Amino acid sequence: MYREITRHLEFENKLLCAFRQSEFYVVFQPQYYTENKRLAGCEVLMRWKDTEGMISPGKFIPVAEEIGLIVQMGEWVLREACRVKKKLPVDLMMSVNVSSVQLMTPGFTKMVEKILKEYNVKGEEVELEITESVLISSFETVLDILKELKRMNVRVAIDDFGTGFSSLSYLWKLPIDTLKIDKSFIDDIHTNSNKRRLVDTIISMSHDFSMRVVAEGVENIVQLNYMKESKCDIIQGFLWGRPVEENEYIKLC
């Protein structure tokens, strides 16, 4: 147990140093319109390369959340997104992940407003991805934050939709623009008829409420064809595009 705690503390320390020493960078995963494969925008994803190689976000983000560093990291990612956005030859949406810790930090919306102004980026060109779990734990507070973001025209997406058991009945009360269907639903869509029914329902209800739907983790043609049939608006996955570095993304635009 002692060794475990020491290892954890060492990792926290390494993470803090790495962030100060700029070992982080962002990549851009393209998102495409399902019907015509036109580029719709991208999701901005954080990467950490240390001397021994890549460390996955799945490993460092929970630790960054624990020590509160995610607040600074998230701010930096939004700046990076806006910086690159200004270099693009066309106006395309940038989606940025927001951790629940960051969302609930006082002054979050002011920070977003300040960065958008600094880079002269319009609110409607940025989409912030939040997870379902934060809605469940703090519905009223999140509602106020989302209303404030709407006032700034900033778009909001619910990430990993379907994994958090949120009730559809209260989801529709929130000012949400996009639902991102979690990869776990897409993975076995061709073999699991229950998941298929659920995905169809999510898509048709979302459209009734004027939300767009993004399918995450589309890796093969079967999944793609199913999402086409289901009239899913946007595809994000390795089949059409892996996350790429800044210059490569600019070329795609």
H or E stretch covering 46: strand 39-50
Residue 16 burial by Cβ neighbours in a 10 Å radius (0-12, 13-18, 19+): middle
Q: Can you tell me which of 159, 161, 185, 206 binds ligand C2E, judged by CB under 6 A?
A: 159
Residue 171 contacts by C-beta under 8 Å, 6 or more apart in sequence? Answer: 135, 158
Closest to ligand C2E by CB, 211 or 215: 215
List the single partner that 237 binds among ligand C2E, Ca ion, none, CB under 5 to 8 Å by kind: ligand C2E
Helix residue ranges, H only, the chain: 2-20, 57-66, 69-85, 100-103, 108-119, 132-137, 139-151, 168-171, 183-187, 193-208, 221-229, 246-252
H or E stretch covering 49: strand 39-50
Q: Give the range of 57-65, 85-93, 110-118, 204-212 binding ligand C2E by CB under 6 A.
A: 57-65
Map tokens 């890549």 to a residue: 54
Q: Give the range of 55-63, 105-113, 145-153, 225-233 binding ligand C2E by CB under 6 A.
A: 55-63
The reply on whether position 125 binds ligand C2E by CB under 6 A is no
The reply on whether position 107 binds ligand C2E by CB under 6 A is no
Closest to ligand C2E by CB, 24 or 203: 24
- State which of positions 15-54 bind ligand C2E (CB under 6 A): 29, 45-46
Please give the backbone phi and psi of residue 218, each rounded to the nearest 5 degrees, phi first: -80, 115
The reply on whether position 230 binds Ca ion by CB under 5 A is no
Question: First and final CA of the chain: distance in angstroms?
Answer: 50
Q: In the bound complex, what is the minimum distance in angstroms from residue 182's beta carbon to Ca ion?
A: 6
The reply on whether position 148 binds ligand C2E by CB under 6 A is no
The reply on whether position 243 binds ligand C2E by CB under 6 A is yes
Closest to ligand C2E by CB, 162 or 243: 243
List the single partner that 233 binds among Ca ion, ligand C2E, none, CB under 5 to 8 Å by kind: none
d(CA 40, CA 238) in angstroms, rounded, equals 15
Q: Can you tell me which of 80, 127, 159, 233 binds Ca ion, judged by CB under 5 A?
A: 159
Tokens of 75: 């701010």
Residue numbers of the site for Ca ion (CB under 5 A)?
97, 129, 159-160, 216
